[in-house]
Amino acid sequence: MRVTEVEFTDAEPIEGYGPGFFRIGGKIRQGAVLTGPAGTATWGGYDDRAPLMALAGQVDVLFVGTGAEIAHIPADLRALLEEAGLGVETMASPAACRTYNVLLSEGRRVALAMLPV
């Protein structure tokens, strides 16, 4: 079997997560986080909409990690993001991390906003 190392070009993969934190780019990030082609930053949760809207035109899909369990995001937030041309996929944060990493490794235009587990 031949193993090929995955290279991530314009964003950092999620390296790990645990209760209340995510490890991205070798750094531990506490609390909710937004990561994508523009880098990684603290995210204020569902009411912090400006950084999500700034992703319009930069990414095709925004994954929203809803914490330990899958949950719906506010309907008005979903409508706002979709009107801006962003595909929105919600899932539990662990699944969102894995899915984001896979699509990122394929060179897809993705971002991830996630609440901690």
DSSP string, 35-76: EETTEEEE---TT--HHHHTTBTTBSEEEEEESSS--PPPHH
What pLDDT score does 4 carry?
A: 44
pLDDT digits (tens, 9 = 90+) for 49-93: 999 999 999 999 999 999 999 999 999 999 999 999 999 999 999
Q: How many domains does the chain have?
A: 1
Q: How confident is the model at residue 100 (pLDDT cuts 50, 70, 90)?
A: very high
pLDDT mean over 1-25: 77
By residue count, the chain amounts to 117
Q: How confident is the model at residue 7 (pLDDT cuts 50, 70, 90)?
A: low
pLDDT mean over 24-49: 96
Question: How many Cβ atoms sit within 10 Å of the Cβ of residue 20?
Answer: 12
Is 85 contained in some domain? yes
Is 1 contained in some domain? no
Which 3 state secondary structure label does DSSP give 112? Answer: strand
Half-sphere exposure of residue 14, counting CA atoms within 13 Å on the CB side?
29
Q: How confident is the model at residue 9 (pLDDT cuts 50, 70, 90)?
A: low
Is 28 contained in some domain? yes
Percent of the chain past pLDDT 70, that is, above it, reads 91
Is 6 contained in some domain? no
Q: Which domain holds residue 94?
A: 14-115
Q: What is the CATH number of the domain that holds 108?
A: 3.40.1230.10
